[in-house]
């Protein structure tokens, strides 16, 4: 069973597809969008009006020395400027709200989608990269929605208004100016491809940095215990260097694009000055009209000049959108069937019938496995590392699905019931205990958050965790730290057992639950484990055979096959593989 890793270079989505998707996401904010467009329209009209006031001043007020009107022009320009500030703020703030709403929804959708993907997806993809897509990539889209779209709308209004006016006043000059725009279009299109590719590399290299930070910080004790600080620093510097080079490549393209756009803009300015002056000499234009054309040309060129920055934002957003879509396009393979029933555990009998499974296409982890777990009894799985023990627990919880064969609970195939009802009936206590960065109370109640404090304390008492908890200054409100770093191995294990007890499952899976503990700690929590297993179907995985001698049934695995079954005494009497393992462990203990 093979699932591919997320693409290093995700499939490219068209800019049109990205904008279509984003527009769908902002539909619920359509009132704010309409108000923002209105504000942008007013801004465009104000910017169009101010040069007209300047032309009137040059062509009428100054030649006729109309001082009284000069005061009114001054007042009108100041009022227009104040209105400009107000409507620019209104449009910008409204679009910020629109962007935040849309990206809030997108980030929630992305997180919910990730939560519903298979365990195999997380096995094959790095945490830092997924975090980068959920944070940095979404932020890139936020920049486009909050400011980029508003700039685009504003520039569109100004461009249309000024172009129409310039053609109305002097179509020859307007046509000469607009001849530069096809050149700008082709230059922009050429650099757009290069910049988008460059920013995709920037995003990928940033994800690599996040991966390294995640690994090195979460494993800081390993780093320090092996004195590998310098080694990790060198690894980080290499990734940081790749990110620097990716950013410089993007900057190289962007830095070249900007000056080329400026040259084309100045070429248009030269056309206005030369041709406008020639027409003025011929009496076809006034000095005020030339001044107005120059101001309008600047206003017309501002959108073009901003194209470089806007294209930068669009291409960054497009690269981020590609990476986000590559996650959203992933589909879980393990889902509840449309007609799936709710699992109702009665006896708790579990059967594996000709189960075959492989994590990839190269090697089978389980091969035609057949065995049964009696309801309300304890069954142990033993075998060397890699024999398939943990794989069986992964299949029973449907973290993976068998390639062939059937797993049933009370004669009901587990792929015929809902995932939620299946997993709600199973608790897993493993060697690798995960505690959330919260209080002891929150960790015991995880999975049953609405439970009362009395039930939490009762579960802690059964797990023999209440004694050390009550000795802590803050008791059940004590913070456990990231991954429970403030607690000892035995303390974490007891909290894990209390959490399983509080869930009150019908089926318990113990995967090397005590293998990392010393003898004293193991003995201290054994009573808690005994209470947890009582009257429940239990599957215990253990390397130390001494811990499973009292199991009702023992299944022996070797290279993905069931090679022996029976009680401890029956297996010893068979003088087979189990007896060999038992003898080896007994001899090892005797030499200590």
Per residue, the 3-state secondary structure of 216-281, as one string, reads HHHCHHHHHHCCCHHHHHHHHHHHHHHHHHHHHHHHHHHHHHHHHHHHHHHHHHHHHHHHHHHHHH
pLDDT tier, 591 (very low <50, low <70, confident <90, very high otherwise):
low
Same fold: 336-425+536-592 with 428-504:
yes
Q: Which of 159, 163, 157, 191 is nearest to 176 (CA)?
A: 163
Give, as one character, the DSSP assignment of residue 517: S
pLDDT of residue 555: 92
Mean pLDDT of 277-294: 77
State how far the Cα of 376 lies from the Cα of 425, in Å rounded to an integer: 13
pLDDT of residue 402: 92
Quick: pLDDT tens for 419-435.
Answer: 889 988 888 888 778 88
The structure's pTM equals 0.71
Mean pLDDT of 389-411: 91
Residue 553 vs residue 313, higher pLDDT: 553
Report how far apart, in Å, the C-alpha atoms of 572 and of each of 221, 396, 447, 566, 569 are: 42, 28, 41, 9, 5
Q: Which fold has domain 15-328?
A: ABC transporter transmembrane region fold (1.20.1560)
Q: Per mean pLDDT, which of 7-16, 305-314, 436-445 is the most reliable?
A: 436-445
Residue 532 vs residue 137, higher pLDDT: 137
pLDDT of residue 4: 43
pLDDT tier, 203 (very low <50, low <70, confident <90, very high otherwise):
confident
pLDDT tier, 3 (very low <50, low <70, confident <90, very high otherwise):
very low
Confidence check: pLDDT of 516 > 60: no
CB-side neighbour CA atoms (13 Å) of 267: 14
Q: What percent of the chain has pLDDT over 90?
A: 9
Domain ranges of the chain: 15-328, 336-425+536-592, 428-504
pLDDT tier, 259 (very low <50, low <70, confident <90, very high otherwise):
confident
State how far the Cα of 157 lies from the Cα of 152, in Å rounded to an integer: 9
Give, as one character, the DSSP assignment of residue 415: G
Confidence check: pLDDT of 221 > 60: no
pLDDT of residue 357: 92
pLDDT of residue 443: 87
pLDDT of residue 410: 92
Q: Which of 71, 70, 75, 42 is nearest to 56 (CA)?
A: 70
As a residue count, the chain comes to 592
CB-side neighbour CA atoms (13 Å) of 190: 12
pLDDT of residue 524: 64
pLDDT of residue 7: 53
Report how far apart, in Å, the C-alpha atoms of 279 and of each of 60, 273, 291 are: 19, 10, 13
DSSP string, 428-485: EEESS----SSBHHHHHTTT-TT--HHHHHHHHHHTT-HHHHHHSTTGGG-B--GGGT
Report the b/e string of 188-224 with b at 16+ CB within 10 A: beebbebbbbbbbbbbbbbbbbbbbebbbeeeeeebe
pLDDT of residue 355: 92
Mean pLDDT of 553-581: 88
Mean pLDDT of 544-569: 86
pLDDT of residue 408: 93
pLDDT tier, 134 (very low <50, low <70, confident <90, very high otherwise):
confident
State how far the Cα of 550 lies from the Cα of 547, in Å rounded to an integer: 8
Architecture of domain 428-504: 3-Layer(aba) Sandwich (3.40)
Confidence check: pLDDT of 224 > 70: no
pLDDT tier, 1 (very low <50, low <70, confident <90, very high otherwise):
very low
Report the b/e string of 479-496 with b at 16+ CB within 10 A: ebeeebeebeebbbbbbb
Report the b/e string of 510-533 with b at 16+ CB within 10 A: bbbbbeebeeebbebbeebbeebb
Report the b/e string of 126-139 with b at 16+ CB within 10 A: bebbbebbbebbbe
State how far the Cα of 83 lies from the Cα of 50, in Å rounded to an integer: 12
Distance of CA 45 to the CA centre of its chain: 42
Report how far apart, in Å, the C-alpha atoms of 153 and of each of 148, 247, 500 are: 9, 29, 56
Mean pLDDT of 241-257: 83
State how far the Cα of 129 lies from the Cα of 203, in Å rounded to an integer: 10
Residue 193 vs residue 416, higher pLDDT: 416
CB-side neighbour CA atoms (13 Å) of 3: 17
**Domain 336-425+536-592 falls under CATH 3.40.50.2000:** no
Confidence check: pLDDT of 488 > 90: no
Report the range of poorest mean pLDDT among 253-262, 342-351, 452-461.
Answer: 253-262
SS3 25: helix
Confidence check: pLDDT of 291 > 90: no
Q: Indicate the burial class of 147 (C-beta count within 10 angstroms; 0-12, 13-18, 19 or more).
A: middle
Mean pLDDT of 517-541: 73
Residue 303 vs residue 429, higher pLDDT: 429
pLDDT of residue 406: 94
Confidence check: pLDDT of 219 > 70: no
Mean pLDDT of 448-461: 84
Mean pLDDT of 217-233: 69
Report the range of poorest mean pLDDT among 147-151, 399-403, 586-590.
Answer: 586-590
State how far the Cα of 307 lies from the Cα of 180, in Å rounded to an integer: 14
Confidence check: pLDDT of 195 > 80: no
Quickly count: other Cβ atoms within 10 Å of residue 101's Cβ.
16
Average pLDDT, whole number, for the chain?
Answer: 81
């Amino acid at each position: 069973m093979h699932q591919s890793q997320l693409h290093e270079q995700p499939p490219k989505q068209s800019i049109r597809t990205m904008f279509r998707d984003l527009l769908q996401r902002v539909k619920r904010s359509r009132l704010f969008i309409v108000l923002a467009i209105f504000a942008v329209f007013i801004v465009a009209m104000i910017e169009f009006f101010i040069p007209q006031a300047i032309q009137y001043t040059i062509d009428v007020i100054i030649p006729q020395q109309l001082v009284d009107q000069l005061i009114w022009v001054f007042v009108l320009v100041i009022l227009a400027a104040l209105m400009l500030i107000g409507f620019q703020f209104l449009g910008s703030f409204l679009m910020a709200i629109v962007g935040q709403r849309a990206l809030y929804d997108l980030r929630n959708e992305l997180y919910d989608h990730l939560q519903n993907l298979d365990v195999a997806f997380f096995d094959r993809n790095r945490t830092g990269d997924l975090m980068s897509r959920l944070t940095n990539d979404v932020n890139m889209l936020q920049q486009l929605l909050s400011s980029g779209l508003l700039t685009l709308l504003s520039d569109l209004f100004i461009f249309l208004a000024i172009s129409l006016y310039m053609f109305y006043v002097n179509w020859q000059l307007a046509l000469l100016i607009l001849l530069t725009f096809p050149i700008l279009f082709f230059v922009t299109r050429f650099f757009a491809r290069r910049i988008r590719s460059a920013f995709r590399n920037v995003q990928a290299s940033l994800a690599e940095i996040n991966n390294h930070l995640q690994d090195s910080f979460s494993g800081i004790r390993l780093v320090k215990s092996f004195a590998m600080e310098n080694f990790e620093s060198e690894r980080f510097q290499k990734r940081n260097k790749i990110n620097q080079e990716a950013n410089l490549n993007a900057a190289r393209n962007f830095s070249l694009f900007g000056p080329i756009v400026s040259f084309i803009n100045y070429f248009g300015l030269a056309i206005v000055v030369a041709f406008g002056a020639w027409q003025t000499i011929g009496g076809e234009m006034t000095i005020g009209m030339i001044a107005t054309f120059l101001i309008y040309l600047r206003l017309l060129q501002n959108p073009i000049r901003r194209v470089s920055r806007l294209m930068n934002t669009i291409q960054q957003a497009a690269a981020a959108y590609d990476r986000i879509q590559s996650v959203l396009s992933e589909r879980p393979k393990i889902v509840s069937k449309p007609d799936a029933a709710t699992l109702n555990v009665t006896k708790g009998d579990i059967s594996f019938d000709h189960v075959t499974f492989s994590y990839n296409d190269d090697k089978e982890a389980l091969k035609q496995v057949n065995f049964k777990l009696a309801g309300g009894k304890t069954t142990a799985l033993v075998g060397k590392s890699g024999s398939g023990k943990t794989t069986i627990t992964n299949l029973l919880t449907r973290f993976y699905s068998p390639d062939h064969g059937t797993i049933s609970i009370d004669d009901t195939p587990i792929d015929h019931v809902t995932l939620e009802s299946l997993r709600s009936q199973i608790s897993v206590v493993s060697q690798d205990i995960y505690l959330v960065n919260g209080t002891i109370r929150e960790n015991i109640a995880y999975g049953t958050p609405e439970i009362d404090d009395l039930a939490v304390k009762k579960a802690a008492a059964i797990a023999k965790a209440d004694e050390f908890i009550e000795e802590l200054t803050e008791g059940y409100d004590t913070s456990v730290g990231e991954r429970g770093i403030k607690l000892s191995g035995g303390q974490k294990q007891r909290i894990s057992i209390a959490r399983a007890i509080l869930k009150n499952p019908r089926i318990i899976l113990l995967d090397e639950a005590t293998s990392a503990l010393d003898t004293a700690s193991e003995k201290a929590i054994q009573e808690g484990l005994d209470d947890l297993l009582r009257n429940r179907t239990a599957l215990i995985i253990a390397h130390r055979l001494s811990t499973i001698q009292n199991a009702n049934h023992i299944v022996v695995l070797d290279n993905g096959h069931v090679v022996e079954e029976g009680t401890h005494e029956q297996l010893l009497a068979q003088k087979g593989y189990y007896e060999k393992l038992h003898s080896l462990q007994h001899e090892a203990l005797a030499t200590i």
